[in-house]
Structure 1
Amino acid sequence: MTSTSARETRIVADPDVPLVRITREFDAPPEKVFRAHTDPELVARWQGPHGMETRMEHYDCRTGGSYRYVHTRDGEEHAFHGSFHDVRPAQLIVQTFTYDGMPDDVALERLVLEELPGGRTRLTATSLVDSFEGRDAFLASGMETGVREGYERLDALLAH
């Protein structure tokens, strides 16, 4: 079992560029963490905050693929879409990310999986937007809660 601090989701706004960096460790090997990020059925089970359901409209996680999904709760809907630019099994996913509610704010995201001793994985994700205002709006949107709670849900999924 990992200490609480190692499993903490760290979300940091870079002071020099409009970028958010997320780091998190998981008690599973990179292959399993990668599959949970690329298999649409698995992604739908963990992504987003507690109490939200994810409806996949399409999710083709491969270099050149694209996605669109909708988070729903009590009639409320939040849709997201983007393109996968580079997908390398158990290592890397580079994609764009757009929230339909803010269509002019497109993030370039890079997710890196690093193998740790004991069959564990460190995930480092960066989201770069075109302005500090866009980055701050991204953070103010509740993204932090969704990321933290989603990774808690991912822990449970990876435990099986």
Structure 2
Amino acid sequence: MSTTTNTTDIRADAGSPYIDIVREFDAPRERVFRAHCDPELFAQWIGPDRLETVIEHMEARTGGSYRFVQRDPSGGEYAFRGSFHEVVEPSRVVMTFEFEGAPGHVEMDTSTFTDLPGGRCRLEIHSTYESVEDRDAMLAAGMEGGVTEGYAKLDALLADGAL
């Protein structure tokens, strides 16, 4: 198993309702795309290390929807839901994302998966929030740590051939 040196670049410019994430993976885009759309794989890597993820449903297709719950060891639960507005395999996913603990604060995520030389992939995510305050609340909730830890888990799945 190889160790990755890929970093997660998260950019949130002051005064704008956007977050941009760029991450490269040492795997072909088809595998990285699949890890984002296959419920069994998605549950293995999404979010912070301390949380267990249970996918209630996930239909990663244009017009589909999803809902998953993350549980921490102390019994806390955090549920998320959304709709897939566009799924173009293996290059693009446009979807909403809503934390049920803050209903009505929905973000729109556009994820682009790009082939890189050497069988690698670049993932670029542009998240649009309804307001700067919503975006700032997401950052304050620890989103950066969850994304970074999640992608480290995805690196391990990709490296050990689990997908």
Q: What TM-score, normalized by structure 1, do the two folds share? A: 0.95
What residue in structure 2 maps to residue 43 of structure 1? 42
What residue in structure 2 maps to residue 69 of structure 1? 68
Percent sequence identity over aligned pairs = 53
What residue in structure 2 maps to residue 55 of structure 1? 54
CA RMSD across the alignment: 1.3
Amino acid paired to 1:92: R
Once the two structures are superposed, residues 100-126 of structure 1 have per-residue CA deviations (whole angstroms, 9 ceiling, x without a partner) of: 111121000000001000000000001
What residue in structure 2 maps to residue 123 of structure 1? 123
Runs of 4+ in 1 over 2 A off after TM superposition: 1-4, 14-17
* Structure 2 unaligned spans of 5+: none
Q: What TM-score, normalized by structure 2, do the two folds share? A: 0.93
What residue in structure 2 maps to residue 19 of structure 1? 18
* Structure 1 unaligned spans of 5+: none
Could you tell me whether the CA contact under 8 Å between 2:53 and 2:70 is conserved in 1?
yes
Q: Are 2:160 and 1:156 aligned?
A: no
How many angstroms does 1:17 deviate by?
Answer: 2.8
- Tell me, in whole angstroms, the C-alpha distance in 1 between the residues paired with 2:41 and 2:13: 30
How many angstroms does 1:73 deviate by?
Answer: 1.1
For 1:156, what is the secondary structure of its paired residue?
helix
How many angstroms does 1:51 deviate by?
Answer: 2.1
Amino acid paired to 2:92: L
- Tell me, in whole angstroms, the C-alpha distance in 1 between the residues paired with 2:143 and 2:14: 18
* Structure 1 residues 75-154: aligned runs within 5 Å: 75-154=75-154
- Tell me, in whole angstroms, the C-alpha distance in 1 between the residues paired with 2:69 and 2:34: 20
